[in-house]
Structure formats: structure tokens, C-alpha cells
Structure 1
Amino acid sequence: SVCPSCLQAQQAKFLRDVENEMEELTVTIAQAKKMVELIKGAATKEREGVEKLFAEASEVLATFQKEVTGFIEEGERSMLGEAEADLRWKEERRAKLAQCKQNLENVPGTDTIYFLQEFQALKVAMEENLSPSLSFQNELNFTKCTQAVSAMKDVLSAACKSQWDHLQGKATDGLSFQEMEEAESRFPDKSNNPACRESRDYFLKFAFIIDLDSDTADKFIQLFGTKGAKRVLCPIPYPESPTRFINCEQVLGVNLMNRGNYYWEVELIDGWVSIGVIAEDFNPQESYNRGRLGRNEKSCCLQWNGQNYVAWFGGFESVIQQPFFHTIGVFLEYSEKALTFYGVKDSKMTCLQQLKVSHLAKGQFDPFQNKINNKFTSLFLCKLKPAFFLESVDAHLQIGPLKKDCVSVLKRR
């Protein structure tokens, strides 16, 4: 038989296990509820954004259709007027010549004077040449519209297919994963860059201490001191400021960078976060589409979107196939006009993307690098600031701590 005290001990332990399980479930239920709300909120905002963009795209197409239709109508109107005037002149001339010829043929053979008069009238009619000149020279320029609209339709169809494949994970920048692997074998390996092989200690020589500027923070960003930023659902009543973002959930560092090398680190705590730099003179009142980091030529960034890293500049993107890193290192070489993003783990650096002019070999084409080659150096005509974009409703970041023995002399203004 089992002793009562043993049963009581087993029962007590079992009940404690049940209570522990219930407590854990309480925590995970709260987290699950939060995730449900986050998904609903993100989906609602994404849906609204997509509907707005489709409406704007429809307006663009409607405007283009109106312009092309108007071009056809104007071409028809102007050219038809000339063509009809030419037709009327030809018909009148033919009728006049026919009448003069008939009059001449009706003259009696004995009436010489009357014959000479009618013959002279026919001769004068033949010599008249006042035909209106046709400025369009028989070229119907509005018939090129079909070709132009067809080309536009093909581009739109290809763009829709490419983006749809991208959304479904079938392609990256319009290429299948197999094509991407083949392309990677042809393109230079970023890890061959000497800066990609350095240890963290090398970069700490250029450690740059960043303080977040509360006068730039969007109202949906809560700051924790000068190092932490989190996106919130309820707007914060910040005072008005000419440097405050009003359409994008972004915040800048107060620090300016215009010479030498700078290195800083950012901890990705939660959500979708973009890290980059922006020109000092950028207008914080830009629209959402133009104001986001990397969607203009005044800024660039590395984005974590929950699945991969994506580099952005000038509205062009480059998807990066690398695992998630909790810490991102940013190395700005201002004089070299280069910006490199690293994944940092255990003092080891993994190069994620370097933004720098690098001309491709003949026969190669990379839209993102082509944009870098054409426009990236102009970004360095301005003083730059560290910039952060908290994209999702749960986004949260922290400016990473650097070695204490470095920071005392490296807080540059």
C-alpha cells in the first residue's frame, strides 16, 4: 500500500506542475493575443495602404489615358481640317476645269472669237495653282499612340508579375532563386571585400556615439532616453518642430557626419526596422511614399522585414539572403563614399551589404547597383545623419552599447 504522506506529496507536486503550466499559458496567451492584434493592425494598415496606392495608380492610368485620347483627338482635328481643305480645293478645281472644257467644246466651229475666249479661260484655269500646302505631309503622328500604350501595358504587366512572384517568394528582384544562385556565381562576392573580413575590434576604432533627436521623432515613436525607440499605437503629444517627421515613423540622430569614418551598432529588439543615413537637408514633411528611408535619393538603409534583409536606395531594393542578426553594425566611410552593413555576433562581422559605386562587368545588369553607380555619390554632397524607420506596429530598437574604453574620445559632433 502507498503511504498517505507520499500520496499527498505527489498530489502537491502535481498541483504545482499544473499551476506552473497555467502560469506559462497565461503568459503565452497574452503574447498570442498581442500577436493576433498586431497581425490585424498590420493587415489593416497594409490593406489601406495598398488600396490607396491602387487608387493612385488608377489615377495615373486614367490621366495617361486622357492625355493619349486628347492627343489623338487634337491630331485628328488639326490634320482633318487641312485634309478636308485640300479635298475641297481639288474638287472645285476639277469642277472648274470640267466646266471650261465643256464650254470650249460647245463653241460653234464658225465662231472663232468665242472659241479663242473659251480657250483662254481654260488655259488660265489650268495655270492656276493655289493648292493649300499640307503641313503634316501625310504623316499621321497620332497613330503612334497604339504602340506607346502597348509598350506601357507590357511594362506594367511585367512589373505586376515580377512583384507578385516576389510577394509569393518565387523570385528576388524578378529572378527565380535558381537564377539568383547563377547570378551570384557571376557577380563579385561581397565577402571578398577586405572590410568584410575585419573583426569587430577593427571597427571599434571608429566607434561613434549616437543620441536620438526627440525633435525629429514621429508622434507614433516613443523614445527611451536617447538610445531606445519603440513604435506605439497612441500618438505622443510632442511639441511642434520643423524637423519632426509627420508622415513616416522615423527618427534621426542629432549627430552630423561629414568626414572620416564612423561606426555604430543597433540592436533589433522587435518588429520591422530600417537602419541607415539621411541627408541633413531632407524635408521631414515628405509624403509616406517619398519620405521613407531608401525610397528617395537623399537616404539609404538596411531593412529587416521579418523574413530577410533588404538594402534600399532611390526606390530600388536588393534582397539579402542572410540569417537574422540581433545586432547590426553600420560603417560609414564618408571620404570613400561607402556605407556597409554588418551582422555582428560574438565579435565576428558578417558583411550583409556594401553601398558603393562598383561598375559591373560587361553583359551584367543589376538595377540596384546601377542606381548606386548613377546617384549614390551625390548623397555625400550633404552632411549625413543616422536615421531609423520603425515600420511595423511592434517595431523596437536600441542603439547598441560599444566598448567603454572607446567611447570617451569618440563622441564627435
Structure 2
Amino acid sequence: MKIDALKIAQAAKMASKSAGLMTTSQKNKALLAIAKFIKKYEKEILKENAKDVLTTEKAGLGPMVDRVLLNKERITGICSDIKNVVSLPDPVGKILSKRKQPSGLKIQQVSVPFGVILMIYESRPNVTVDAATLALKSGNAVILKGGKEAINSNRVIIKAIKAALKSVGVNENIVQFVDSVEKDSIADFLKMKSLIDVVIPRGGKGLINFVVENSSIPAINTGASVVHTYIDKKFDLKMAVAITVNAKTRRVSICNTLDTLLVHKDSAQKLLPILAKELAKHDVEIRADKRAHKILNEKYTKLKRATAQDFDTEFLDYILAIRVVDNLDEALTHIEKHSLRHSEAIITSDKKSAERFLNEVDAACVYVNATTQFTDGAQFGLGAEIGISTQKLHVRGPFALEGLTTYKWKIYGSGQCRK
């Protein structure tokens, strides 16, 4: 389907003014209506989602099925998440700082919406709801471009959202949808810096690189990761096994899932056979370096020798790369070389090692003795999120509601002129 990018962007720009002026009460009323209409359209959403799941399965994209899948339980969860957004404080109009200058000027720094957000994402239909509701609560208009994998689901979800907004007298143009499965359909939007204030790509390296290389609009990157956990020389065996298995297998299709395990050489012989036994229960394929392979050889059926590429791969599957390192220094060097600055963890009983890891690893989220699966807005007490930002400007880590605002300076005078 040929889409009119300019028309969509112009509609969003016009709607952004009314979005920015909505009261907290109006926003919350609209959000509750969205939750109601998502539930009202549940049967139709699930019917169309079944088509998306079938297409994904036929394409041989097994691990992606979980990302695309919706069911009654997940629809209930989506509606619950919307109600959680209602309970969050309104991020717009907050006085961030204030001062009175010697000139007599009274100056306030006040939070305001971005204006128009372009959100480009892959696979997950729930992101359509998350992005729309967070944009609404933060006073922004949003243009949504989902992945082809969930196009049928997204069409119905958008229909439900627009019907909900209309039912409470809110301008439905606040939420725009790019109804196209073509990747190049976003190219025109990326040049519209006079109409769109920020673009947020959420997905793999390919999507993020495409946006960064082709956009004239400021971008906040989320999603791509190569997540590491390092098991130190001094460690608790039971804890290490439990955390590693959870980090790898709890949900493999999300960006905070463990990809590479680094193990101190003095811990490897003790840890790896026991860990492998637990990973086997989840049918995890291990891709091991020379030293790890030697320890696990003939003790693990789904064992392969790791390639160099494996240590730069976000698997999003039941696959784990393992490397044995000589010490913490080598682990830190490996992470520095291969990390995408998302989430990294150390398992250790040595406080000095823990502090070195926390201070020297350059990532949005750095853990000691915990699974990286906690990298999530709700788990951080921030509420729903747009994604996990891996960059340093504006927002880093869970990209939640307040991250969708910027600020302006309000200056109150009484006739002052500058000499």
C-alpha cells in the first residue's frame, strides 16, 4: 500500500498542539477509554494476530513467534499496563528548577512534550499500545511504524485506539499509523525534521543503523544488545547457575537476555558441567570457545565451537556463547570490545571485583549478582517503557514516561532591559 508520508506527518503536527495542552484528567480519561476499547476489540485483535503468528511460523522465524503472539492473558496484561500509565504522575508542566536572578528576572525550567514522535519498531504488537499511551500521557502526537510481522494485529489495535479517542472527544490524529509493510516506507519520514521532533527506533542493529544513517531528525536508539554475564574467580555456585539460567531462558526473545557468558578460568571446571546440565533442561545450544569446549566435550549434546561472529551476536534464541577468560581484566576488555552498552552483569563474592565492574563497564545497566532480565521500566519502578536506550544523550536505560519530555525556560520580568 502506497502511503502519503507528508499527509500523515502534517496531521500529527497539527494534532500535537492539542495533545500538548491536554489536562491530566483528559489524558487519563482517554487512556482508560483505550483500555476499554482494546478489550472490546479483543476477539478481532486475536483473530488478526493468529494470521501474523501463522505467517511468522511459515517464514521459519521460530523465536520471533513469541514476540508476535497475543492471547487473552497478554491482552489483559496490555490493559493493565494502560491503567498503570494512568496512575503515573503527569510528566508535563513540572517545574524542574527555579531561581530569581540579580536582574530581578524569575526563571523556571519546565517540562514540556517533544511534539511529534516517530516510533519505528519490529515484531511486537504490544509496543503499538505502549507507544501510543505513553505518547498521549506525555502530551505528544505519535507516528507509529510497526514491523511487517504484526501488521494485521497493529491495524486492529490502531482501529481500537482511534475509536477510543473519538469516544471521549480527543483528536484521533494524535495517533498516526503507517499502514505499510515496506521498510523503505519510513525513508520519507526521516527527512521531515520540520514536522517530526524525534525518531525512536526500537529493534535490531539493522533497523537502528538504517535510521541513524538516513535520518535528519534527532534519534534516540533503543533495543539492540549483546548482553554479557561474567562469573568471577570467587562466586557462589548455586547463585551463578540460577542467575545464568534465568538470564538466558526466562524469555529469550527480549533485548535483556543473556548472549555471552564469560567465566574465570579458575571457576570454569567447577561451574560449566553443572550449568550445562541445567541449560540442557531448556534445550539451550552452547557455542563454546576452545577452553570451554574442552571442559564440556562429551558432556553436552548441543555443543558447538564458537565462531568470532558468535561473540557479536544478539541471539534472541536458546543459544549461549561461552568464553573462558584469565581474569577480570580480560572479561572487561572483552565486554568493552563486544558490548552494545545495554545490560552487563558480574557474579562475584569479591567486593573489589564488583566495584571495578560497576565503575569500568560502560553500559546503561550494570548488575552485581542479579539477572539482566530486570532491565525493564516497570522493574525499575518507572512504569511502562518505550524501550531501553543504549545511548548517552537525553535518556539512558529504561526509556519511560519522563523520557518523552524535554523542557523550556519560562522567564518572568517586570520591565527589565539589559545594559
TM-score by length of 2: 0.23
Larger radius of gyration: 1
TM-score by length of 1: 0.23
* Structure of higher RCO (CA pairs closer than 8 Å, 6+ residues apart): 2
